[in-house]
Amino acid sequence: MRAQPDAFASVPPVDPVCQASQYSPSRLLRPAEEMRRQIYFGLMSQIACTYGIPVGLFDAMIIQESRYDASIYSPKQAYGLTQLMPATALGLGVNRYDVEGNLRGGATYLRQQLDRFGHYHLALAAYNAGPGRVKNGRIPRISETQNYVSNILSNWTMLTGLHRRSSIVTGAAAVPASDRTVSVTRF
């Protein structure tokens, strides 16, 4: 059984010696999507490391957000690989139309949520629904957000075998212990 990320684990401090991961096919995407992922993987991995985000988590989030389509708009006008909203990009001081700016903006915003909420599942919910909707340590009762968190954690689990180097320091191994499981509780 493959080791699985612990969604309810506290977020550890940033690893100052993080190294970007090597590309491996995800088996989660169609061929054209996987080709885009391969193009952006090095930059994504480097930026994840810079912001102290596990590469597999950031990768799984981008797969969920845009399937690595750098020019995709959502119906709500979010844009790019990390689907930044106009106000979020403006507040972060990044150009959401620039691939690197979009990745840095998404990483900055995710890092802010990780620092604020201290748990992966809550940070992902805040990234999707907005931090004001994550209250009392619970994922909001929004099916889109609940599915979003569940899908990313599931994909991160699948990608964990591909990304053996964690971009965070923990008291345990770089990959969480194999007896842990990921579960998302719906309230």
pLDDT digits (tens, 9 = 90+) for 59-71: 999 999 999 999 9
Question: What is the structure's pLDDT at 177?
Answer: 38
- Model-level pTM? 0.80
34 catalytic? Reply is no
Residue in 34, 65, 100, 144 annotated catalytic: 65
Model pLDDT for residues 113-162, shown as the tens digit of each residue: 999 999 999 999 999 999 999 988 999 999 999 999 999 999 999 998 75
In this predicted structure, what is the pLDDT of residue 10?
Answer: 65
pLDDT the model gives residue 20:
75
Q: Does domain 31-160 have CATH number 1.10.530.10?
A: yes
- Do the beta carbons of residue 11 and residue 168 sit within 8 Å? yes
Residue 178 has a pLDDT of: 40
